[in-house]
A = this chain, B = another copy of it.
Amino acid sequence: MITKNEIKYIQSLYHKKTRDAEGLFIAEGEKLVNELLQSNFHIQQLYATADWEAQNASINNINIIETFELEKISNLATPNKVLAIVQQRKNIALPLAKNTITLVLDGIQDPGNMGTIIRIADWFGIHQIIASNDTVDIYNSKVVQSTMGSIIRVNCWYTAPDNWLQHCVVPVYGALLNGVNLQSTGKISEAVLVIGNESKGIRPYLLPHIQQAITIPRVGGAESLNAAVATGIILSHWVL
């Protein structure tokens, strides 16, 4: 059973303003919710169908609901058995750049791209992302779902990246179209990689902070690569 007010409240969490005010986000589906249950994220509320509850007998405080009720609170085309309301991570201090690779995202807009970048970071063992304040919210439900669980292992701080970069003591690379060949940078384990907005690229206010522009050489005719694909290619050449 779910009340009208609960439905209204959950639907309000699809808006960033309410999400931030409440410090919560929504995660859906068996796989993702099971991963969150095993993580150090705090699940505030679980709504699940009776068959999910039957398969997860060890879990307390499940609100058992009907599929038609799940459809009312879900944001998926095909709702999948369980929806969790989860506490956002509280990141207090900005991270240091030492001994790791940090991604800086300058205005990534598409939730699918954002989720894919988080998944790529996770694949290559990178746990920290600095995002400009106008980058799509990591707790946007489309971002959450498209991280495929990587949101658990990758941290994201929203701030003014130029300020953070000012105090940065490791080499700062930027993915640009007029840089040195990616191949020439060799293997890298301590650096910052700045990735630009899907259509505008890295905006001028960040350019003074980039010490080395790097480019994935183009062999054929395409004008650019998708931001997530470029991130994956650069990291694979650095890390592998």
Which A positions have Cβ atoms within 8 angstroms of B?
A: 112, 116, 119-127, 148-150, 152-153, 181-183, 216-226, 228-230, 232-233, 236-237, 239-240
Contact = CB atoms under 8 A, between A and B. Distances in A.
A220 to B, nearest CB: 4
Number of copies: 2
A16 B29 CA distance: 30
A217 B236 CA distance: 9
B220 A125 contact: yes
B224 A124 contact: no
A216 B228 contact: no
Nearest to A217: B240
Contacts of A223: 148-149
Contacts of A121: 220
Nearest to A233: B236
B220 A225 contact: no
B228 A226 contact: yes
Contacts of A220: 121-127, 153
Given A120-B229, A229-B229, A148 B219 contact: no
A210 to B, nearest CB: 21
Contacts of A232: 225, 229-230, 232-233
A225 B231 CA distance: 12
Among A122, A123, A153, A230, the most chain B Cβ lie within 10 Å of the Cβ of A123
A119 B219 contact: no
A216 B236 contact: yes
Nearest to A118: B222
A222 B112 contact: no
